[in-house]
Amino acid sequence: MPTRLTNYFLKTLREDPADAEVTSHRLLVRAGYIRRQAPGIFAWLPLGLRVKSKIEAIIREEMTNAGAHEVHFPALLPKEPYEVSGRYVEYGDGMFRLNDRRGAGYVLAPTHEEVFTLLVKDLYNSYKDLPLSIYQIQDKYRDEARPRAGLLRGREFTMKDAYSFDYTDAGLDVSYQAQRDAYERIFTRLGLEYVIVKADAGAMGGSKSEEFLHPTLVGEDTFVRSAGGYAANVEAFTTLAPPTRSYEKLTPAEVLDTPDTPTIASLVEVANAVHPRPDGTAWNASETLKNVVLALTHLDHTREIVAVGLPGDREVDLKRAEVAFAPAEVEAATEDDFTLHPGLVKGYIGPWSPEGAVLGEKSSTGIRYFVDPRVVDGSGWITGSNIHGKHVFGLVAGRDFTADGTIEIAEVKAGDPAPDGSGPVELARGMEIGHVFQLGRKYAEALGLKVLDENGKLVTVTMGSYGIGVTRILAIIAELNNDENGLIWPPAVAPFDVHVVVAGRAGKDDAIFEAAETIVADIERSGRSVLFDDRPKVSPGVKFGDAELIGVPKIVIVGRGVVDKTVEVWNRASGERIEVPVDGVVNAL
């Protein structure tokens, strides 16, 4: 049975929705796929639900091929498992919380690691039960501070989340690889180009993690790759530290006048003009040490001021800083923070002053001090002396100051060396389409998931977690497949295979309507699904416009040509329209 527009639930809109920030949101609303219910929360209309179901079907097939079995957890879950794992606190305001009528605490699950772990613990107890991979396709909830970009960052969204359970590290590697392979097949079938990059495990914890990114200029994620095969998102990129150097022969540090040099650029200029290097070569910004003061807000809501020293030619990358300091939240220190720390001389901050250590554990300020990995022992720097208008030259790490640790918050630049030695990296942008994690034993340990091994010994299970945002993927496909007239779905996920338009009006062109019925029946017999625009009093022009907006890949136009037994077949993607004999329609499709 074809789906007839005469009684379908569909209203295409001429106007873009006022709140649409991105193309996919604009077109999915206008073409009648989704409708907003609240910020970041959407209802799925019949066309949208069909596309979503097709994506889910592809994911299910490949999960089955990967040996994973489908289960389904409630969205509403008791809070206790999330308290045990620590995520009840870590998620902060991002988690929807509620109480039932008896006052028991619940959450709307943002992901399900905890309860999958508990379910396996509940039912399994032997290595013979493993390996196990299980997954669900479920609506997830995250109370985003700024839901935006339509389905790309919603507060309710559908996700496929899979979890693997093994009792050996080698087993986890196999399970992880099976999911990773399935993801490659899924994205290939969905027609989504992807790059697999090293990722930071973030709030999930765990050891190894990779992201599938779709490379696109408008992506919200930045990643790096080298010609030699290295790829990572910038949050996961690690800096290749230079070797430490001996500082035995280095001259002592020297405090010099550098008036009016609160910025790195002014400092380099003054240094070259007033304090030229003995050998005559110019100082450059990478030889200065910039000290950035940041404010951390810890989970217990305490505020801590920290300082980070990094080469003066690098800016702070806030995303890298967020990951580096997680789960604390990080922001630039405010004027109030500086007022509370009079030991910091703005524009001339450094780890050292002629009176001793200024930053770090046993210093005058007591402020924790971290440095970029490039600040290795034996490296010498021009940096603030904590005296207004003066810098110290030749301050040597390990000799003159000691940090509390290294930290990766400096921006990554094109040309930086890949950490695996595979050459310089380039920067690119992409959208996250999937994420695979080796969680390791974090959740199993927290929640007590152990099994008996071959020797009858209790061992903690090691886990993986594998996610694809179904509704996000749908939005990305829409974002990538459209033109000024509407959507252009790839056949694998199109809501229908064929859109048949009757180019005529009931009453005047009844023969055309009759012919269209026969043609639709023929197409359906060939196994293709049909959206049939049989609206009796809508003009052909409006019908064509709707067909373009909706974006079914093939459009068959049944019009006056049927007297000569011909119809038109319109390829939505190429725009090509060819005339074919009525009995050749199925072949032409």
Residue 114 CB, nearest distance to a copy of itself (Å)?
A: 11
Sign of CA dihedral 492, 494, 496, 502: negative
18 near a copy of itself (CB under 8 A): no
Q: Binding marks (x or -) toward a copy of itself, 40..59, rule CB under 8 A? A: -xxxxxx--x--x-------
Residue 69 CB, nearest distance to a copy of itself (Å)?
A: 4
Nearer to a copy of itself, 242 or 448 (CB): 448
Whole-angstrom Cα Rg for the chain:
30
Cα distances (angstroms) measured from residue 497 to each of 517, 521, 524 = 17, 14, 10
* Binding region for a copy of itself (CB under 8 A) out of 131-139, 238-246, 321-329, 500-508: 131-139
Instruction: Say how far apart CA 308 and CA 405 lie, in whole Å.
Output: 10
Residue 549 CB, nearest distance to a copy of itself (Å)?
A: 15
129 near a copy of itself (CB under 8 A): yes
The answer, yes or no, to whether the previous bond of 327 is cis (omega within 30 of 0) is yes
Instruction: Say how far apart CA 475 and CA 472 lie, in whole Å.
Output: 5
Nearer to a copy of itself, 144 or 269 (CB): 144
* Binding region for a copy of itself (CB under 8 A) out of 98-106, 196-204, 218-226, 443-451: 98-106
101 near a copy of itself (CB under 8 A): yes
Residues 6+ apart with CB under 8 A from 189: 58, 62, 492
Q: Residue 554 in 3-state DSSP?
A: strand
Sign of CA dihedral 571, 577, 580, 583: positive
Q: Binding marks (x or -) toward a copy of itself, 139..178, rule CB under 8 A? A: x-x-x-x---------xx----------------------
Nearer to a copy of itself, 429 or 505 (CB): 505
Indicate which single residue of 82, 106, 176, 443 sits in contact with a copy of itself (rule: CB under 8 A).
106
The answer, yes or no, to whether the previous bond of 17 is cis (omega within 30 of 0) is no
Indicate which single residue of 22, 55, 58, 108 sits in contact with a copy of itself (rule: CB under 8 A).
108
Sign of CA dihedral 307, 310, 314, 318: negative
121 near a copy of itself (CB under 8 A): no
Nearer to a copy of itself, 122 or 514 (CB): 122
Q: Residue 325 in 3-state DSSP?
A: helix
Instruction: Say how far apart CA 309 and CA 288 lie, in whole Å.
Output: 10
Q: Considering CB under 8 A, how many residues would be counted as binding a copy of itself? A: 55
Nearer to a copy of itself, 106 or 194 (CB): 106
Quick check: 143 and 40 in contact, CB under 8 A?
no
- Rounded to 5°, the CA angle 547-548-554 comes to 70
Q: Residue 51 in 3-state DSSP?
A: helix
Q: Binding marks (x or -) toward a copy of itself, 474..513, rule CB under 8 A? A: ----------------------------------------
37 near a copy of itself (CB under 8 A): yes
First to last CA, the chain: 19
Window 377 to 396, contacts with a copy of itself (CB under 8 A): none
Residue 163 CB, nearest distance to a copy of itself (Å)?
A: 11
131 near a copy of itself (CB under 8 A): yes
Cα distances (angstroms) measured from residue 519 to each of 18, 512, 522 = 40, 10, 5
Residue 35 CB, nearest distance to a copy of itself (Å)?
A: 6
Q: Which residue has the tokens 């206790």?
A: 80
- Would you mind telling me the total number of residues written for the chain in this entry? 589
Nearer to a copy of itself, 103 or 243 (CB): 103
Window 276 to 335, contacts with a copy of itself (CB under 8 A): none
Nearer to a copy of itself, 93 or 248 (CB): 93
Instruction: Say how far apart CA 543 and CA 525 lie, in whole Å.
Output: 24
Window 58 to 87, contacts with a copy of itself (CB under 8 A): 64, 67, 69-78
Residues 6+ apart with CB under 8 A from 351: 291, 307, 309, 357, 358, 359, 360, 363, 369, 383, 395, 400, 401, 403
* Contacts to a copy of itself by CB under 8 A: 1, 3, 7-9, 11, 32, 35, 37-38, 41-46, 49, 52, 64, 67, 69-78, 93-94, 96-98, 100-101, 104, 106, 108, 115, 119, 122-124, 129, 131-132, 134, 139, 141, 143, 145, 155-156
